[in-house]
Amino acid sequence: MMRAALALARRSLGRTWPNPAVGCVIERDGQVIARGRTRDGGRPHAEADAIAEAAKAGVSLEGATAYVTLEPCAHHGRTPPCADALVSAGVARVVSALEDPDPRVKGQGHARLKAAGIAVEVGEGAADAAQINAGFLRRVREGRPLFHLKMAGSLDGRIATASGESKWITGPAARQDGHRLRAIHDAILVGAATAAADDPDLTCRLPGLRSYSPVRIVLDSQARLSPTSRLATSARATPVWLVCTKDAPADRRDRLAGLGVEIVEVDVGTDGRIDVAAAAQALGTRGLTRVLVEGGGHVAASFLKAGLVDGISSYRAGLILGGDGRSAVGGLEFARLGSAPRFRLVSARQLQGDTLETWRRED
């Protein structure tokens, strides 16, 4: 039952920020009688979604067991607390994967259920739930979202030939999977150089997933993004956030803001570029929980250097581009192995002739 609840939670990833993606399965006598998950924009919560489904079908939840991937909330938001809703519905037992670190909840949801005489068990599926909620947990605990780095390159880790040719290194299956990766993140981030060179859409082009596109973020200290770029001209349809410094000229900022681009001003780092740690905090403050970093090499390097990369998806094609090709991570050098960031392999898959490896940072 918990596994089913975790699967439901996964289906909401990338669509619920600033809230976590939670799943809920309600069972009686071994039969699932209701299921729910956090809906787009974070409301309704998973439990409320499941309870509403049961009410719609005229099913009583009296004496049932609810499996939830995160502690039911205890605070009054736009609707009453989920803990109270479960009590009113007559649920007899709650199996919860993880305590919610949000200071408004933090054990109080479980306590409310217990006070109402409901049997509460905490911890089943905790590791998976922590993984699904990793972005939300980072934001609540550290004020910043999770950052996941996407890399696509050759067998020898290059992203372009000596002459700069870089299109279609990986095949169609890998590119399609890149859209799946976008869909499970709240936002996609690129640097100003990539935005200028590729004029990307950064939308999520998967059948059935067009309804909810991630926020598009450009790290652009001088606000150089062209007002005629695909990003700027579509900012009213799908949000674009431009992260710049106070040095960015006011006329360029205003022009972009007039097109619907949201301007996020952050501090200048020691190298004269954007301070990525400050950018990370600013994005967390705005509610993001999961950000996919798509390039280019300098942006990847600065996030790695700042210790902000939590995971990596590495797509690799069976090509050798050689030493003159550009590296997927530019401008990053470590003298010693001990100081290089280290990642642990989580999964490896074949995508037609390419591979996808998923790596997670060792903390």
Instruction: By CB under 6 A, name the binding residues for ligand AOF.
Output: 19-20, 22, 38, 42-43, 45-47, 70, 72-73, 77-78, 82, 100, 102, 105
Q: Which range binds Zn ion by CB under 5 A, 56-64, 80-88, 180-188, 208-216?
A: 80-88
Minimal distance, residue 44 CB to ligand AOF, in Å: 8
Nearest to 358 by CA among 342, 349, 347: 347
Minimal distance, residue 84 CB to ligand AOF, in Å: 11
Minimal distance, residue 91 CB to Zn ion, in Å: 14
Q: Residue 229 or residue 289: which is nearer to ligand AOF going by CB?
A: 289
289 binds, among ligand AOF, Zn ion, none (CB under 5 to 8 A by kind): none
77 binds, among Zn ion, ligand AOF, none (CB under 5 to 8 A by kind): ligand AOF
Helix 82-89 to helix 108-115 angle (10° resolution) is: 20
Minimal distance, residue 122 CB to ligand AOF, in Å: 14
Which of 73, 151, 174, 351 binds Zn ion (CB under 5 A)? It is: 73
Q: Residue 71 or residue 124: which is nearer to Zn ion going by CB?
A: 71
Nearest to 305 by CA among 329, 336, 337, 278: 329
Q: Residue 130 or residue 197: which is nearer to ligand AOF going by CB?
A: 130
DSSP string, 233-287: HTTTTS-EEEEE-TTS-HHHHHHHHHTTPEEEE--B-TTSSB-HHHHHHHHHHTT
Question: Long-range contacts made by residues 224-228, C-beta under 8 angstroms, separation at least 24?
Answer: 224/192, 224/196, 224/252, 225/192, 225/195, 225/196, 225/256, 225/261, 226/196, 226/199, 227/255, 227/256, 227/259
Yes or no: say if 118 and 86 are a contact pair by the CB < 8 Å rule.
Answer: yes
Yes or no: say if 47 and 244 are a contact pair by the CB < 8 Å rule.
Answer: no
42 binds, among ligand AOF, Zn ion, none (CB under 5 to 8 A by kind): ligand AOF
Measured CA to CA, the distance from residue 146 to residue 311 in angstroms comes to 8
Beta-strand relationship, 215-219 and 343-351: unpaired
327 binds, among Zn ion, ligand AOF, none (CB under 5 to 8 A by kind): none
Q: Identify the helix (H) or strand (E) that includes residue 46.
A: helix 46-57
Q: Residue 68 or residue 187: which is nearer to ligand AOF going by CB?
A: 68
> 47, 71, 124, 294: which is the annotated catalytic residue?
47
Minimal distance, residue 363 CB to ligand AOF, in Å: 22
297 binds, among ligand AOF, Zn ion, none (CB under 5 to 8 A by kind): none
Measured CA to CA, the distance from residue 175 to residue 124 in angstroms comes to 36
Minimal distance, residue 77 CB to ligand AOF, in Å: 2
Asked if 82 is part of the footprint of Zn ion (rule: CB under 5 A), the reply reads: yes
Which of 45, 139, 158, 298 binds Zn ion (CB under 5 A)? It is: 45
Q: Residue 179 or residue 286: which is nearer to ligand AOF going by CB?
A: 286
Token representation of residue 357: 């490896």
Closest-by-Cβ residue to ligand AOF is: 77
Measured CA to CA, the distance from residue 66 to residue 152 in angstroms comes to 41
Minimal distance, residue 5 CB to Zn ion, in Å: 14
Q: Residue 141 or residue 246: which is nearer to ligand AOF going by CB?
A: 141
Q: Does residue 47 carry a catalytic annotation?
A: yes
Q: Residue 22 or residue 129: which is nearer to ligand AOF going by CB?
A: 22
Kindly report the CA angle at 2 between 288 and 107, in degrees rounded to 5? Answer: 60
Residues making up the chain, counted from first to last: 363
Token representation of residue 1: 């039952």
Using CB under 5 A as the binding criterion, the count of chain residues that bind Zn ion stands at: 3
Gyration radius (Cα) of the chain, Å:
22
Binding residues vs Zn ion (CB under 5 A): 45, 73, 82
Active site residues: 47
